[in-house]
Amino acid sequence: MFRPVKEIPASKFKECIPAKPVPEFMLWSTVFCHWRLLVACLAVQLLLVDVSSASFQESLFCPKGCLCPTEQEVICDGVLLEKIPQEMSPKLRNLTIARATMVRISVDDFLYYPLLERLTLNYCEIERIEGYTFHNLTKLRYLSLVGNPLSDLQSYSFANLRSLKEVIVRADALQQLPAYLFFGSENIRGLDLRSTSITRIQRHAFSGLYNVQFLHLPLNLVTIEPEAFHNCSRVHFLDIRNWQANRSEWIGVAPRTFYGLGHVSSMRIDQSSLGVLWPKAFDELETLETLQIRNSRITSIRSSSFAGMRNVGSLQLLNNEIGHIARYAFQQIPGDQVYELQIMENDLDCSCRNGWLVHNFQKLSNDTLKRNYCSSPDSFLQQQLGQIDPAWIVNCTKKYKHHHLDTFSRASLSVDSRPIQMLILLISFAFILSSNPI
């Protein structure tokens, strides 16, 4: 049975006594204790962070001999790695490997690191890169391959990397850039290919690059195949240096070399031996602010070398050594498609070989006359073009009739018929002697 609970009379409770005020020194001591507690907590937290970092450094996710500041970053410098480590965290975002012994890399090496954003493989003895090697790295933004004895770079090696922004390839043994090397990686902004071993760029090598801001081509380049830049646009700055085009099979800049290259802010060819600028070498070069050729040697500028360019702001030939200039090399320039022409500080052949130029020098602008000089003949060496002796001009004009390079390359050449007639006569005489032996 439950007994009823008796109510306690209110008189039984003692009267509540109000709390006395806390002394001021006790308040400050409490605050001081709180600060001591806070500092102690921070120290413990930092200690735990150090312990966790140390534990990650020694975890299974960190390759032996490498530095792993976080789960997302691995640095292997001087570690004798023969392949890409596979024990790293799938959360890896930054991988740097330097001075390793990897001969080749393949598409399977990066299968487990889909979040990788920065990849540096410098001085790693890499000799070969297969097509689509980095295909699984959909988040990759930066790629550096410097100082490797790379000799085999296949088509599509850097294809379909839509997040890629910057690529640096400086190889010691690579001789050519294959076709469709960057196909599908249209968001590359910076492309640095300033290797000294690359001598050839194949057709369509840069196809599919739509947003390159800075494109630095290999140094000591010999051959750029026609249409190498086809379907390449929006290049802010195209830099070509030490181009030895005179050593190529075209003995110069081939027709349609820059075909399909469009929307370029500035294109500069510097310190190069260009040989012959063939007709339509710059054909279909479209929407270009400035095309500048400077500090270079040009054997011959053929008729229509710059024909086919559209919407070009300024064509500049500065401080070059120029041999023959065909009569129609700058036909309709400046004009509706090329708005400005600057030919300044060049050394020109002032012989009768360029008779049309010497004969028509009075029609040239004063700046063109004053700021170009004669490299030949010796009697006019380093004279300004406008200071050529008028008597020489008259004499040269009388001798000058026609130079076969003044017309299009398909024009037939005049041939002296007298040697051929003499040869026919000798053959006929020999035939008569053989038919009537003595």
For the segment 29-81, what is each residue's pLDDT rounded down to a tens digit?
444 445 455 545 455 454 444 434 444 555 568 999 999 999 999 999 999 89
pLDDT tens column, 208-219: 898 888 999 999
Kindly state whether residue 66 falls inside one of the protein's structural domains. Answer: yes
What CA–CA distances, in Å, run from 94 to 50, 70, 73, 121, 139?
21, 10, 5, 11, 11
What CA–CA distances, in Å, run from 372 to 301, 385, 386?
16, 6, 9
- What single letter denotes the amino acid at residue 272? S
pLDDT of residue 389: 76
For residue 89, what is the domain's CATH number? 3.80.10.10
Kindly state whether residue 107 falls inside one of the protein's structural domains. Answer: yes
Among 9-13, 136-140, 299-303, 423-427, name the one with the lowest average pLDDT.
423-427
pLDDT beyond 50 at 412: no
The residue segments making up the domain with residue 107 are 57-156
* Residue 329 neighbours by CB distance under 10 Å: 23
Kindly state whether residue 96 falls inside one of the protein's structural domains. Answer: yes
pLDDT grade, residue 402 (50/70/90)? Answer: low
pLDDT grade, residue 327 (50/70/90)? Answer: confident
Kindly state whether residue 138 falls inside one of the protein's structural domains. Answer: yes
pLDDT tens column, 153-178: 999 999 999 999 999 999 889 999 99
Rounded to whole angstroms, the Cα distance separating 350 from 320 reads 14
Kindly state whether residue 37 falls inside one of the protein's structural domains. Answer: no
- Asked whether 102 and 126 are in contact (CB, 8 A), the reply is yes
Kindly state whether residue 417 falls inside one of the protein's structural domains. Answer: no
What number is the average pLDDT over the span 421-435? 46
The tokens describing 231, both together, are: 């379907």
pLDDT of residue 436: 55
Question: SS3 of 67, please?
Answer: strand
pLDDT tens column, 255-307: 999 998 888 889 999 999 999 999 999 998 889 999 999 999 999 999 899 99
Looking at the structure of the chain, the number of domains it has is 1
Q: pLDDT exceeding 70 applies to what percent of the chain? A: 73
pLDDT beyond 60 at 20: no
pLDDT of residue 4: 54
pLDDT grade, residue 384 (50/70/90)? Answer: confident
What number is the average pLDDT over the span 243-248? 97
DSSP E strand stretches across 295-372: 297-301, 310-318, 321-325, 341-344, 347-349
What number is the average pLDDT over the span 370-382? 86
pLDDT beyond 90 at 181: yes
pLDDT of residue 29: 47
Kindly state whether residue 130 falls inside one of the protein's structural domains. Answer: yes
pLDDT beyond 80 at 11: no
- The dihedral through the CA atoms of 90, 116, 156, 245 has a sign that is negative
Kindly state whether residue 290 falls inside one of the protein's structural domains. Answer: no
